[in-house]
């Protein structure tokens, strides 16, 4: 007999979770990675080596490295950031977190009070927006172009806020392989962003978890690496470059910020075994792995774009992503992707409805995000064909008639 806790739950508790029902047949949601690309053998070898050498250090919280995380991992991350993002930092500037989601939670906990305003990108990571909402902050979506945040539009937003006496708590940006659009902000735009942020006295939160996965390998320097980057709090993660289930991310910030985040991280430390294995692996195979993973993802991206073109035709518009794991698709206004999400979900095709990835939820209701990293190429082809059929049935889009060639048939 279970006890009825209902009267004991706090009154503002979130709605109850549904039981997990397993993955859908065609899984285009979330940030899952390519399963075959997880470097299992190398991770096993790394685990064996590091445990044989240092396994007994697991006896203490934080190993022998203190609350910022396993020091050799932080040293390895610093080396990677210097080489890949031009970001000079040391292990002392890094806090290892349980995924970059915890990084965002810690940053919000340190900075956000109810009523605060944050500027983010008009198409934005839903996990960042839902967290800000939960903290009682409001956000404004800055318009994007193919190079990321439009500086003229951002300036207008900042000017408008200034006129109302509002200084935003920070500008949240995903500059390198933006989620969901897949754009990469060039260096010049990063410099402009820093200049505008400085002019209005606003900090920047740079969320860079996809930055290793750029098709042409041309990763610009991190915003934090550029002159004036002291105002930037930088977050990274191994979720997209290795595997999300590891739950290892990190924050790079100066000590006056890190020292305020540390007391908020009250979980006894991020999983030490994952940190140890990753640290070992970073020095032994990570670079080659990322190159191979990026090629695989690029192939799947091509398959996804081809399938969307084939089955939706001119009804679907998208810009080819420059890297990452998502395709951001715009359908005609008549399509409500919230409804499409339900109809497709009932038939085993899972999509992310655009309203959840848009600062202006209503404005994004005819868009959708498709993750191509996890499904196989066959599953991408079949799932997109099925999605187009369902969309046609529900909304008459894509249009199909005797005179219009039916994609995929």
Report in angstroms how near the CB of residue 239 gets to ligand PLP at its nearest. 3
b/e burial code for range 189-211 (CB count within 10 A of at least 16 → b): bbbbbbebbeebebbbbbbbbbb
Helix axes 151-163, 187-199, angle to 10 degrees: 10
Looking at the Cβ atoms of 286 and 395, the one nearer to ligand PLP is: 286
Helix spans in 55-186 (H): 71-85, 99-111, 126-134, 151-163
Looking at the Cβ atoms of 125 and 318, the one nearer to ligand PLP is: 125
Cβ(29)–Cβ(351) below 8 Å: yes
Give the interface segment with ligand PLP, choosing from 237-245, 257-265, 291-299, 378-386 (CB under 6 A).
237-245
Question: If binding is defined by CB under 6 A, does position 213 make contact with ligand PLP?
Answer: no
Helix spans in 146-251 (H): 151-163, 187-199
Question: If binding is defined by CB under 6 A, does position 173 make contact with ligand PLP?
Answer: no
Kindly state the number of chain residues that form the binding site for ligand PLP, as judged by CB under 6 A.
14
Question: If binding is defined by CB under 6 A, does position 183 make contact with ligand PLP?
Answer: no
Question: If binding is defined by CB under 6 A, does position 207 make contact with ligand PLP?
Answer: yes
Looking at the Cβ atoms of 180 and 383, the one nearer to ligand PLP is: 180
Cβ(230)–Cβ(248) below 8 Å: no
The H or E element spanning position 290 is helix 286-312
Q: In terms of Cα–Cα distance, which of 385, 397, 379 is closest to 337?
A: 397
Looking at the Cβ atoms of 101 and 132, the one nearer to ligand PLP is: 101
Looking at the Cβ atoms of 39 and 244, the one nearer to ligand PLP is: 244
Among residue numbers 116 through 145, which ones bind ligand PLP (CB under 6 A)?
125, 127
Taking the C-alpha atoms of residue 371 and residue 110, their distance in angstroms, rounded to an integer, is: 31
Question: If binding is defined by CB under 6 A, does position 206 make contact with ligand PLP?
Answer: no
Given 95, 174, 223, 304, the residue binding ligand PLP (CB under 6 A): 174
In the complex, which residues of this chain contact ligand PLP (CB under 6 A)? 31, 99-101, 125, 127, 174, 179, 207, 209, 237, 239, 244, 249
């Amino acid at each position: 007999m279970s006890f009825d806790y209902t009267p004991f739950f706090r009154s503002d508790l979130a709605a109850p979770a549904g039981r997990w029902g397993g993955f859908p047949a065609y899984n285009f949601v979330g940030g899952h990675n390519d399963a075959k690309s997880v470097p299992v053998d190398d991770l096993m070898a790394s685990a064996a080596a590091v445990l044989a050498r240092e396994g007994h250090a697991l006896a203490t919280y934080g190993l022998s490295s203190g609350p910022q995380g396993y020091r050799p991992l932080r040293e390895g991350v610093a080396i990677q950031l210097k080489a890949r993002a031009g970001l000079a930092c040391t292990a002392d500037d890094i806090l290892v977190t349980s995924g970059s989601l915890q990084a965002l939670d810690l940053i919000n906990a340190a900075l956000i009070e109810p009523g605060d305003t944050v500027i983010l990108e008009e198409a934005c990571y839903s996990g960042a927006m839902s967290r800000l909402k939960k903290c009682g902050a409001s956000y404004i979506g800055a318009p994007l172009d193919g190079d990321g945040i439009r500086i003229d539009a951002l300036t207008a937003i900042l000017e408008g806020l200034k006129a109302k006496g509002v200084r935003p708590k920070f500008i949240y940006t995903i500059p390198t392989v933006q989620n969901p659009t897949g754009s990469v902000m060039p260096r010049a735009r990063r410099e402009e962003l820093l200049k505008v942020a400085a002019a209005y006295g606003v900090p920047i939160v740079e969320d860079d978890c996809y930055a290793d996965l750029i098709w042409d390998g041309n990763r610009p320097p991190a915003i934090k690496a550029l002159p004036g980057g002291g105002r930037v709090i930088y977050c990274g993660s191994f979720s997209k470059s290795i595997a999300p289930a590891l739950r290892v991310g990190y924050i790079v910030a100066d000590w006056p910020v890190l020292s305020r985040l540390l007391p908020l991280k009250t979980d006894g430390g991020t999983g030490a075994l994952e940190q140890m294995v990753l640290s070992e692996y970073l020095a032994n195979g990570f670079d080659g792995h990322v190159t191979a993973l990026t090629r695989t993802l690029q192939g799947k991206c091509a398959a996804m774009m081809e399938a969307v073109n084939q089955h939706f035709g001119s009804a679907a518009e998208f810009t080819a992503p420059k890297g990452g794991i998502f395709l951001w698709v715009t359908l005609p206004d008549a399509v409500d992707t919230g409804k499409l999400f339900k109809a497709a979900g009932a038939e085993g095709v899972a999509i992310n409805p655009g309203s959840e990835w848009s600062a202006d939820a209503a404005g994004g209701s005819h868009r959708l995000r498709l993750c191509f990293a996890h499904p196989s190429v066959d599953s991408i082809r079949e799932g997109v064909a099925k999605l187009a059929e369902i969309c046609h049935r529900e909304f008459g889009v894509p249009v199909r008639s005797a005179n219009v060639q039916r994609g995929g048939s």
